[in-house]
């Protein structure tokens, strides 16, 4: 139309930060599964992969293999059992190992830290806490009260971490199916190990109002598993459990764009019995994207 003003300077589209991809994988021996882990890293290129059950003493950890593909590692391991690692292609800052890093005067925390199950670091301003929660074995085992004590200690640890103020991503093998939809046969499995009321209550107590299971934000239905027992043909029958979790504080949850389980890795030759779980975060957020950017 004649005389109609034409905008020759349309607004510039807002920039969306590229995703930060953080993954968790219980590899059930990093040296046995090394080729599989390296292949997966090269295919998926996450910024950070958190490993559990590395099962190797620190002096024997295969740093060189990861460095050859552009990753560096922070580790806390022991021979044949347990072990956690952070495998990153971005800088790891303020690496902390064990409960004692935040609970220096807690004698129980020191004793529980003898098993190598806890490691954390700051990654681009996010505190990533990688955990391998004890299994507990059975309700009648002495390992069951150990598991509950460990979870209670984790709750104390998280209270201190919250005071420090860093946004938190807590992830790992929790050895707990939080709800019926996380179990293959709820009628049979509820009340037993990994699904007992005490374990679930301890998990919910440490999560509180602060941390959210990000996988369930994107996938509410049952039938999604992260662990298939080597025994009883669990993989062939697709009778797994969802016991590998990623929990986010509200600040990070606002930035989450997806969370998936890489089930296909369980079909590898000589696989881990767990599959990787991956969260995508649009981090760091643009200014004004969330309530934490307010000046008041």
Please list, residue by residue across 197-234, b when 16 or more beta carbons sit within 10 angstroms of its beta carbon and e when fewer do: eebbebbeebbeebbbbbbbeebeeeebbbbbeeeeeb
Q: How many CA atoms lie within 13 A of 184 on its CB side?
A: 13
Q: Is 20 exposed, middle or buried (0-12, 13-18, 19+ CB in 10 A)?
A: buried
What is the token pair recorded at 128?
């990533």
β-strand pairing of 126-132 with 168-173:
parallel
User: What sections of the chain are H helices per DSSP?
Assistant: 34-44, 63-67, 107-112, 143-164, 186-189, 197-207, 214-218, 250-253
List the structure tokens of 103.
């609970």
Residues involved in catalysis: 132, 173
Q: Which pairs from 233-240 meet CB under 8 Å and 24+ separation?
A: 234/184, 235/266, 235/267, 239/184, 239/185, 240/184
Contact 249, 128 (CB under 8 A): no
């Amino acid at each position: 139309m004649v005389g109609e003003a034409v905008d020759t300077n349309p607004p510039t589209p807002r920039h969306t930060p590229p995703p930060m991809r953080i993954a968790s994988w219980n590899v059930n021996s990093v040296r046995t599964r090394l080729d599989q882990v390296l292949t997966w890293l090269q295919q998926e290129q996450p910024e950070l992969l958190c490993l559990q059950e590395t099962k190797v003493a620190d002096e024997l950890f295969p740093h060189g293999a990861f460095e050859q593909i552009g990753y560096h590692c922070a580790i806390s391991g022991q021979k044949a059992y347990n072990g956690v690692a952070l495998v990153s292609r971005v800088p790891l800052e303020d690496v902390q190992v064990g409960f004692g890093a935040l609970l220096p005067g807690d004698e129980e925390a020191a004793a529980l830290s003898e098993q190598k199950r806890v490691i954390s670091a700051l990654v681009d301003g996010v505190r990533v806490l990688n955990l391998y929660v004890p299994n507990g074995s059975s309700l009648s085992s002495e390992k069951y009260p150990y598991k509950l004590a460990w979870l209670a200690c984790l709750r104390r640890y998280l209270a201190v971490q919250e005071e420090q103020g860093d946004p938190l991503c807590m992830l790992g093998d929790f050895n707990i199916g939080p709800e019926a939809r996380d179990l293959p046969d709820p009628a049979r499995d509820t009340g037993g190990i990994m699904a007992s009321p005490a374990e679930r209550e301890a998990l919910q107590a440490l999560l509180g109002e602060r941390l959210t299971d990000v996988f369930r934000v994107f996938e509410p239905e049952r039938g999604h598993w992260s662990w298939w027992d080597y025994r009883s043909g669990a993989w062939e029958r697709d009778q797994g459990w969802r016991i590998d979790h990623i929990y986010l504080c509200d600040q990070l949850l606002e930035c989450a764009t997806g969370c998936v389980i890489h089930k296909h890795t369980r079909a590898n030759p000589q696989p881990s019995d767990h599959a990787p779980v991956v969260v995508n975060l649009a981090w760091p957020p643009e200014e004004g994207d969330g309530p934490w950017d307010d000046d008041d």
